[in-house]
Chain A
């Protein structure tokens, strides 16, 4: 039937890869049923859309509310086993911990070298782990870390004053401007969300500045020079013999219409004459040696480098290339990116072309360069993957010709040379 798009509002809902269960409200009754033996995902409850005035419905609702209340009223305390203390360092707005234990610290924090360490090169420098503001906040929220204010001179007891959660937020997010830091609440929301999901998140070089200029991996590799065999010339001559003969050469064609009446052997020839609009080809942008450094627009820069939770290649000393690059955007204060912003952002991202023999739609959706925008709207984060697709490289008329060749046997001349046609 004509027009398959009509009434294709699919009853099954959004496609499976777009369902994000974390957006739906959880029913805490099922949480209690989860035990350690069978680690299944707890069910979400059923949804009712209106009150029915049945006792069953109101009882169910009350039971769910009570379960949620019980789950949330659990008192969170520091465990004596994993207890870690850190000390706040006011000048650099960071905190340091002495030899912390635990799996979390394997991927967080840095040990600074002797010239970077603000406290100097004393005997504890190798054990001192410096934590960035967002890492400290995340660990405090989680309950792993206990941060203390630095000791004053007139305090003679060993225990310093503990930092409250409000104090931590006030210092690490609120006081960032005075320390020329760039951590905002939006960036922290993205960081903590990703860490909770298990990812490894680190600051990108363009965290608070233009960052490193794009290297050669941000551009397509230069085309290799290949030598064609001599037979190529014969097939070329054969092709021109059987080529389309239209009125005049394409350069002379102008005026009334793009496609002049004439003899065309295939629709591909007609489509080639229609090409008029210039499009940006990511495979032809090559790095020149004396190219000026491209500064990413201040509004849109890569903020975080993210590695997958099970990544084998990540080591704190040599992280390797990240799996994802995230640019955090404040959804309330900015509007949709302009072309300059997006193109300068894309210039700093490495060139990752799709597979040559992939399917058409997969290749277009994958794109030649991609970046993830995290749009934060008052704490609610939405991730959009923007890929630089080059539709101009996938010419449908050439693909159609390839598929028809199997059925019709193709033109004799166009195949090139003597010998058997395929």
Chain B
């Protein structure tokens, strides 16, 4: 931060300090905006209606929830920098600070079997885990845990009765954008319908062609409405969201203001636009709450970490302290919890949880109609046509129907076998495969997040979801090159899933990725043979998690569509 030297134009004391305060860097402090801070800022920037964009560079400056202590820069021309360097170096030598200072014992988290995830409720931990590495997802939000701020914002707007909102969450922006798009589509459909109607009228002879042309020119050409601009920069998004936000919320708030005047039992002023009804309901609820309860809201949201992320934070970084309820207790009783688990037991628990434990059904009951299924997985329609196309026909001359043996594998890759999995000793466990991929990309510096939104396993971000869109979508594919998998019966059974991945599935995934401007990456994880250890009671204690994980190998392939037309030169 540099010193700002201002010319002394007016009153020396107040004006210059006010100007200096105005030109302070426009970053939000790390604390969430509280009510007493907001009005001061707004009064200062009355002419500027623009909401201050959050400085993501500063908020997300640490890529991992650990602290580093770089030595200060050394400028040979400045002797004081040498003194500073020596002082810091000696300080670090005699009183070394710890990298885990942000989380001395680890952020508290607890494992929840019913949701198969790890929950973090401590607000400082939630903030730290999201800001430093983008771990987890808010359970009531889209990605960043913003539920509390959104609720407070609703209340504040209801109380203030209009005016610009300070904090516009991403969900509100999305809602506005979706409404805009919906209105645009309605408008476009209306214009097209009118064009068709006019054409029909011309053909019926009711309307002369000249009148049609006149009508076109008069209306300034019934051109199709232009779609709302597709800006992907977050500052302008914030602006637009803010402006539309106020437009759509003003009639809502006007209605909300008039609400206390009317009786609460009435249906309220007639609502023309259906889009305001969810907001109106929320406003109505919050107003009633205001009248009755104190303004302080209890945060009902927690940060949800997938098992893979939780294991990475706990084992690889050591910043998470996961408490596991004993199996005989339900999640609601938290009286007794198991002390901090060693990583091997944690791996065991997560591996067991990730595998499906469905028992195979005994067969359709006589009352139900028989369904087409293979190994009790319901078949996709495409798989049925595939089966018919590829299977040999059995034509019985006496019957009129064709019999097709269902030998084809189902279309989509099916989950693991239906028998309960043993522990992590089976290296083909889906948790281990996912974790290896996750760890591999994290250790290279990528921010890796679940990719179910786009039909892949993981999405890779360069710095984080707030900075740019993901460039790669990763599919995890197990590979069985070890001779164990081709020689034994269990190995062959495990490889059956390989046949399930066919070319249509790959093309579908590739098309989806190219439509959203991403590149598909196939990450083959080479699964080692199971460890042939003695199966005694404490055999697991001798194994090392690091040794277990180092046995895997990873190889990535990038898939792109090759166009014949475009590669000619």
Binding site for B on A (CB under 8 A): 1-15, 17-18, 20-22, 52-56, 193-194, 197-199, 242, 245-246, 254-267, 269-271, 274-280, 308-310, 324, 329, 331-336, 338-340, 342-343, 360-361, 364-365, 367, 372, 375, 377, 382-392, 394-400, 408-413, 419-421
Interface of B: prevailing SS: mixed
Decide if B295 is an interface residue (CB 8 Å cutoff).
Answer: no
10 further interface pairs, Cβ-Cβ under 8 Å (given A255-B343, A364-B519, A413-B85): A1-B241, A18-B563, A193-B564, A194-B564, A254-B544, A259-B66, A277-B436, A280-B553, A338-B480, A384-B559
Checking A329, A361, A385, A390 against B471 with a beta-carbon cut-off of 8 angstroms, the contacting residue is: A361
Closest Cβ–Cβ distance, residue B157 to chain A (whole Å): 19
Contact size range, B: 35 or more
Which residues of the partner chain A approach B453 to less than 8 Å between Cβ atoms?
A: 5
Residue from A254, A270, A377, A420 within 8 A of B64 (CB atoms): A270
Please tell me which stretch of B263-271, B373-381, B510-518 contacts chain A, meaning at least 4 of its Cβ atoms lie within 8 angstroms of it.
B510-518
Given known A-B contacts A324-B567, A412-B74, A276 and B524 have beta carbons under 8 A apart: no
Partner of B170, one of A1, A334, A338: A1
Q: Kindly provide the distance from the CB of A119 to the nearest chain B CB, expressed in whole angstroms.
A: 37
Name the residue of chain A whose CB is nearest to the CB of B199.
A54
What chain B residues lie within 8 Å of A198 (beta carbons)? 568
- When distances are taken between beta carbons in the complex, the residues of chain B under 8 Å from A260 are 318
CA distance A343 to B556 in the complex (A): 11
Q: Shortest distance in angstroms between A8's beta carbon and chain B's nearest beta carbon? A: 6
Determine if B503 and A263 form an interchain contact, defined as CB atoms under 8 angstroms apart: no
Contact between chains at A395 and B173 (CB < 8 Å): no
Q: Is B521 an interface residue (CB 8 A)?
A: yes
A-B contact pairs, 10 of them (CB 8 A): A2-B144, A3-B170, A20-B565, A336-B506, A384-B559, A387-B557, A391-B521, A392-B444, A397-B445, A411-B74
Contact of A339 among B81, B445, B468, B526 (CB under 8 A): B526
Q: Is the CB of A279 within 8 A of B557?
A: no
Residues of B within 8 A of A54 (CB): 196, 199-200, 203
Across-interface contacts of A335 in B (CB, < 8 A)? 498-503
Q: B516 and A271: CB pair below 8 A?
A: no
Do the beta carbons of A277 and B445 come within 8 Å of each other? no
Given A22-B565, A335-B501, verify A11-B517 contact (CB < 8 Å). no
A9, A375, A410: the one within 8 Å of B515 (CB) = A9
Interface residues of B (CB under 8 A from A): 62-64, 66, 68-76, 81, 85, 89, 92, 96-100, 142-144, 146, 170, 173-174, 177-178, 196, 199-200, 203, 227, 230, 232, 234, 237-238, 241, 314-318, 342-343, 389-390, 436, 439-446, 453-454, 459, 462, 465-472, 477, 479-481, 498-507, 510, 514-517, 519, 521, 524, 526, 544, 546, 549-550, 552-569
Docked-complex contact A387 and B560, CB < 8 angstroms: yes
Instruction: Please report the C-alpha to C-alpha distance between residue A13 and residue B69 in the assembled complex, in whole angstroms.
Output: 47
Q: How far is the CB of B131 from chain A (nearest CB, A)?
A: 11
Q: Which A residues are in CB contact (< 8 Å) with B97?
A: 263
The 7 A-B pairs with the shortest beta carbon distances in the complex, nearest first, are: A412-B74, A396-B445, A257-B318, A339-B479, A409-B73, A383-B562, A274-B443
User: Known contacts being A257-B318, A263-B98, A324-B567, is A4 close to B465, with CB within 8 Å?
Assistant: yes
Shortest Cβ distance from B471 into A: residue: A361
Q: Is the CB of B68 within 8 A of A266?
A: yes
In angstroms, Cα B470 to Cα A131, docked, is 50
Question: B241 to nearest A CB, angstroms?
Answer: 7
Q: Are B315 and A278 in contact (CB under 8 A)?
A: no
A257-B318, A270-B68 known; A278 vs B554 contact (CB < 8 Å): yes
B562–A384 CB distance below 8 A: yes
Given A11-B227, A15-B514, A332-B390: A263 in contact with B69 (beta carbons within 8 A): yes
CB contact under 8 A between A420 and B76, given known A54-B196, A56-B199, A412-B85? yes
With beta carbons under 8 angstroms apart, the residue of A7, A20, A257, A398 that contacts B315 is A257
Which B residues are CB-close (under 8 A) to A397?
63, 444-445
Q: Does A277 lie within 8 Å of B439, measured CB to CB?
A: yes
Bound: A336/B501 CA distance, A: 6
- Tell me the nearest residue of chain B to A412, going by C-beta: B74
